[in-house]
Amino acid sequence: MIAGPRCILSENVRIRHPDLFRAGANCILDDFCYISTAIELGDWTHIASCVSIIGGADHALRTGRFCAISVGARIACASSDFRRSIGTLAPGAASIGGDVVFGDHVTVGANAVVLGPNRIPEGVVIGALGFVPPNANLEPWMIYVGNCRPTHARDRDAVLRAAEQVA
């Protein structure tokens, strides 16, 4: 496990593959997070309490800088393939998915779900209870709600100025 300077990792975080855990500077992982996949967190990333990031050692979540995953969100880099499998961890059970990659300044709202494989572009916000299906075609600096429909553009310049203030 590699954690950058000023990282705060709750002692109540469960990391299944600590050898595949990397966090940049100033990251925070709150209580009761569960991580069962490889993970690389960019600087200033916050993962709130009760977040699950699953997918096994063969897949990864990679975040850019200034990212946030809100309370109760789920990132599923891999899942059972319920069309072709019995849906358990039985030997040979089929799985689907792939890496989930966030650009800088991505925020995932409370109880949202992101399925892999996916690339979430810079500046995207997924609203609370949002759902991002595999291979979603999202546009940078947009706010998405529900089943990933855009609602508003973000103020890119204001966000970048704020980030410069802390970095």
Q: What per-residue confidence (pLDDT) applies to 26?
A: 98
Tens of pLDDT along 12-36? 999 999 999 999 999 999 999 999 9
All structural domains of the chain, each given as residue ranges with its CATH number in brackets, are 2-80+94-166 (2.160.10.10)
DSSP state letter for 157 = H
Q: How far apart are CA 119 and CA 48, in angstroms?
A: 21
Residue 129: in which H helix or E strand, if any? none
Query: Can you give the pTM of this predicted structure?
Result: 0.89
Q: Is pLDDT at 87 greater than 60 in this prediction?
A: no
Tens of pLDDT along 96-124? 889 999 999 999 999 999 999 999 999 99
